[in-house]
Chains A and B, each alone.
Chain A
């Protein structure tokens, strides 16, 4: 109905969450956009590091934790001296920044090896876990959400919404423990925990699957209901296009933008580590590493882990922007 003035069409552009590149940009401008995003992320990263550095140091003295309670004051003093913890905080920070700029993220107090090595080892596991889980979640949620939306209000819709509701409502550690009791102990189908074979991945992935699945199904459903009631779907129906093709070709691609945003959010939280699942299943990921390290006041590892995951999340967000552009030509140029 409204006669959109093309002049204002560009002006009204949605800059939702700073995620979507403003439309009306050329290919070269896309690069500029990426650069702008990189600068913004760098600022955030620096802010994050400053915050974590000082906040974590407020949580207590690593010496008290590294050394036994019986350790003498001199031993503690010597430990702090050894690790440069006696310097004023600002001096420590200056040292840290200097080291980071030369690519040295410091040593782990507990493990006596480079913090970055420790983190990268753990992060590899987390990355795989996140990638596999999110792939499965995405595929399943899109399928279920789309079908639910197609017959909104029908039996399948109700069933899937109840399942996804439960999925989004259950405490994950509870599910994890029950799953071990049932599938590993009683049925002996799967190993309880750990890594090694492919079978070891099933339970952690299954537990991690539940909540994002519940959330994404609902977003897909909502977005698909919108897309399916849109004008171009009417056109497709007028063309005699098959239902399957209407859902998965015409509507789905249009409905994906909000879905991708949620997928991004969920993936980000997985990249930050699935602390609870990692703890229960003895999965050597970065989430448990981060929590353990802060428990042990192993600051360098905490900082390195934050740095690595934040970078990963930044890259993922770029990928998501790319996916936006791939999916929607209006954003592309």
Chain B
């Protein structure tokens, strides 16, 4: 038994919340050896992070409570250690990196200070710590390591910040590294790099890695074994291959099925008169060129996917088309009228045609309005659409249309899950009977299974109502099943524009190819092949 590096036995943790006691994890057990990578796979609310928090002593008690179980590190039960001994374990024997490095790094201290602190906390003297910090920064591949030590977290890019986190975590060569969604907020290309770095370091140090993720691709890329969690319960465990190829539990099956990028690709209809015609739109913020002359056409009922990494200008484009921001130059003709020269009154009329669904429904729905108020607000603003007497019936109709029920009308957004909230946001957009909906990362924040459902909903609306979509995403697989045309953006420029098949099967630009190959495939075999190809390319 004691020969495992880490062993979690029959762990149960509960939390006291507003809605009563929540059993965050119930009776879960798993183990991890040196040099091995174990993935805990689960969607939000599955309790996948709870066991790691218990291992790191990060559960706030109250409201949390560990009701049963033990966590053995080399056979020693961590729960039985004195606080002092327990603290000595953290950082030294077990280290952890987190999903959002910007908020997990202290914003007011330099990264050098923070790395050195990890060392000095466990007894290193200042000089050693300084030298070691520099070595670590160099090792994780931060450019200009010496100067970078004096910089603050906000001065780095997202990928670099995660590298800093890794440097800090590995400062004391821990036996175990817990990585909680380490690449979730990163662009695909950066994600690949960070995962590669993790693997390299694991090989160097022989540590065990516990990776917590919702992404099957990440599991396929990095893990040896995987445990799947649903609602606090461990439903399936095994090697990555076994679980993917031969899932036993229905939940696992559902997860695997929901992974995007496997359906039929759309064949766009023959080109008609474009409903939206964008020409040479430019926008700068200070010295930063957000859009460098963007032009494209959108046909009625067609879906244009806009894909690009952060900073590519795709969100700016959305805001400008909706006049939430003013362009510096360019035109955008909607049914023959230039959107950018409309007077406020004309704009008000046109708002009905153009609607938007935002990335984060938690933030785009006013928390103090009921669902009914949220949806019917459209008719308060545009009273000529619908007489007040019919509002209730129409809201019910819309809710059914997006897969919710009329009984949800009186509730507040926070009572719904993320996917349900996004459905409400879509219902709100539909209330104005628009002809174009711009979806800005509308599914990025959602779990995979929910993502699939929302996309299915959007697809249905397109087919039934003939609505055109501009669908902005940072992830290529997501748009594969849904888009007619794909526009790839990089640093304010369109680098590639074509039908979905052209872009996915015969990309013309290196950048597109890089994006495609950096994307992680949930199938471990496919992903292994991708990886081999990538390594080969890198070797050349």
Contact = CB atoms under 8 A, between A and B. Distances in A.
In-complex A–B contact (CB below 8 Å): yes
Interface of A: 1-3, 5-8, 10-11, 229-232, 234-242, 245, 250, 253-254, 327-330
Given A3-B310, A5-B316, A7-B313, 11 more contacts: A3-B474, A6-B310, A7-B288, A231-B98, A238-B56, A238-B96, A239-B90, A239-B117, A240-B90, A245-B121, A253-B109
A330 B107 contact: yes
B95 interface: yes
Given A234-B58, A241-B121, A2 B363 contact: yes
Contacts of A245: 121
A154 B316 CA distance: 48
Contacts of B474: 3
A250 B121 CA distance: 13
A240 B285 contact: no
Interface string B130-153: 000000000000000000000010
A13 B58 CA distance: 32
Nearest to B319: A8
B461 to A, nearest CB: 24
A32 to B, nearest CB: 15
Given A2-B359, A242-B121, A330-B154, A235 B87 contact: no
A235 B104 contact: yes
Contacts of B100: 1, 231
Nearest to A1: B445
A232 B106 contact: yes
Contacts, number: 103
A242 B118 CA distance: 11
Contact of A232 (B58, B105, B315, B359): B105
Interface string B109-128: 11000000110011000000
Nearest to A256: B108
A237 B118 CA distance: 10
Contacts of A241: 91, 117, 121
Contacts of A235: 96, 98, 104-106, 165, 168
Contacts of A328: 107-108
B425 to A, nearest CB: 14
B56 A329 contact: no
Interface string B337-365: 00000000000000000000001100100
A7 B313 CA distance: 8
A2 B290 CA distance: 19
Contacts of B444: 3
B172 to A, nearest CB: 9
Interface of B: 56-58, 60, 87-92, 95-96, 98, 100, 103-110, 117-118, 121-122, 152, 154, 165, 168-169, 185, 285-286, 288, 290, 310-311, 313, 315-316, 359-360, 363, 441, 444-445, 474
A239 B359 contact: no
A239 B310 contact: no
**Chief secondary structure at chain A's binding surface:** helix
B103 A231 contact: yes
A331 B382 CA distance: 42
17 contacts: A1-B445, A2-B445, A5-B315, A5-B316, A7-B311, A10-B286, A229-B60, A231-B98, A231-B104, A235-B104, A235-B106, A237-B57, A239-B121, A241-B91, A241-B117, A254-B108, A329-B154
Contacts of A231: 98, 100, 103-104
A232 B154 contact: no
B336 to A, nearest CB: 30
Contacts of A240: 87-92, 121-122
B174 to A, nearest CB: 10
A10 B285 contact: yes
Nearest to A257: B108
A265 to B, nearest CB: 22
A237 B315 CA distance: 36
B408 to A, nearest CB: 23
Given A3-B474, A237-B56, A330-B152, A254 B106 contact: yes
Q: Which of A232, A245, A329 is packed against the most chain B CB atoms within 10 Å?
A: A232
Nearest to B184: A1
A229 B60 CA distance: 9
B98 A234 contact: yes
A24 to B, nearest CB: 8
A258 to B, nearest CB: 14
Pick the 8 closest A-B CB pairs, nearest first.
Answer: A240-B91, A240-B90, A231-B103, A239-B91, A232-B106, A238-B96, A329-B152, A231-B104
A229 B59 CA distance: 11
A230 to B, nearest CB: 7
B288 to A, nearest CB: 7
Contacts of A5: 310-311, 315-316
A241 B91 CA distance: 9
A7 B285 contact: yes
Given A238-B95, A239-B90, A6 B104 contact: no
Contacts of B109: 253
A129 B89 CA distance: 49
B175 to A, nearest CB: 14
Nearest to B57: A237
A253 B154 CA distance: 16
A230 B108 contact: no
A242 B123 CA distance: 12
A8 B98 CA distance: 24
Contacts of A8: 315
A254 B445 CA distance: 28
B185 A3 contact: yes
Given A239-B91, A239-B121, A329 B107 contact: yes
A237 B58 contact: yes
B531 to A, nearest CB: 25
A7 B315 contact: yes
B121 A232 contact: no
B108 A238 contact: no
Nearest to B107: A330
Contacts of A254: 106-108
Q: Which of A3, A10, A234, A329 is packed against the most chain B CB atoms within 10 Å?
A: A3
Nearest to A332: B152
A238 B359 CA distance: 31
Q: Which of B92, B104, B290 is packed against the most chain A CB atoms within 10 Å?
A: B104
Contacts of A229: 60
Contacts of B60: 229
B290 to A, nearest CB: 5
B420 to A, nearest CB: 16
A333 to B, nearest CB: 9
A203 to B, nearest CB: 38
Contacts of B290: 7
A265 B102 CA distance: 31
A236 B95 contact: no
A237 B310 contact: no
B87 A242 contact: yes
B488 to A, nearest CB: 17
Contact of B360 (A1, A6, A330): A1
A330 B103 CA distance: 13
B156 to A, nearest CB: 12
